Amino acid sequence: MIKRACISTLLAAALILMATPVWASYAGYYVYLQVRNTGPAYDMLALNATMQIQNLIDGEYIAANGTDTRVTNAALTLMPHMLVEDRLMWASAIASDSITEFVFWAGQEPLESFPTITGHGGYVTIPDSADLEPGNVFVFYIAGYVDTSVGANKTIIRKDGAVTLNVTAYQEITFAVSGGSSLIASSVASGYHLIGIYSDGTDMWIEVDEVLKDTIATSAIPNTANDWYLFEGNSMPYVYYYGQWVVKL
């Protein structure tokens, strides 16, 4: 029997925003946003702006699910974004010591879905469940932007006492089973990637963008009562997909 993880999101506040909204009609409604950065550059940074989303829905500026919205930069390049109850969240590269302008658009063609943007310092939790204990036959699959620059606690997957998927060195990610084997994917530059980790009960292996990076004999992942934590330490500014499958015999 195959079980698939259900994600419950916990969004922490991001940082640094000053916004000057002026609604106007031009192929829909839009608002200008300015991000002032007085620190170093970011290849990709999760951002947010406080916004009364329900008021926009009630005023019929946006659809009830918000999928008819977009965020672009000043050059009209689309940015990954999502809406939550009290804010707009998006991700973009940010230059050092800069002011960067963005535009939030309404009245667009509906999207099928939003990515998950946890916010700067945010993360996602999945409560412990017996149905999601991987054992020795499992698949983890992730699609999103991975920041593989050096940094502390850059953890993509963590279940204490069971398993981790971490950024362990510059352009390196490691999948480690507690008390067991590890898989290493090197030469993974920061950017959008498809990461797959597989175990058939005999071998386990890791692929990045459908390219095999490492393989080793399977180690069974210990069964613990700890929760799952995803995308910690700003390891993934935005995520389009996370899937987890286990086989219960």
pTM here is 0.87
Whole-angstrom distance, CA of residue 26 vs CA of residue 3: 47
The pLDDT score that the predictor gives to residue 27 is: 57
Asked if domains 18-105 and 122-247 share a fold, the reply is no
* In the chain, domain spans: 18-105, 122-247
Q: Which amino acid is at 155?
A: T
Q: Give the CA radius of gyration of the chain.
A: 20
The string of pLDDT tens digits covering residues 167-186 is: 999 999 999 999 999 999 99
The pLDDT score that the predictor gives to residue 26 is: 39
The string of pLDDT tens digits covering residues 113-140 is: 999 999 889 999 999 999 999 999 999 9
pLDDT band at 106; cut points 50, 70, 90: very high
Alpha helices in the chain (DSSP H): 53-58
Is it the case that residue 195 has pLDDT exceeding 70?
yes
Q: Return the CATH architecture of domain 18-105.
A: Sandwich (2.60)
The string of pLDDT tens digits covering residues 68-102 is: 999 999 999 999 999 998 999 999 999 999 999 99
Instruction: Annotate 79-94 with b (16+ C-beta within 10 A) or e (fewer).
Output: bbbbbbeebbbbbbeb
Q: What is the CATH number of domain 122-247?
A: 2.60.120.200
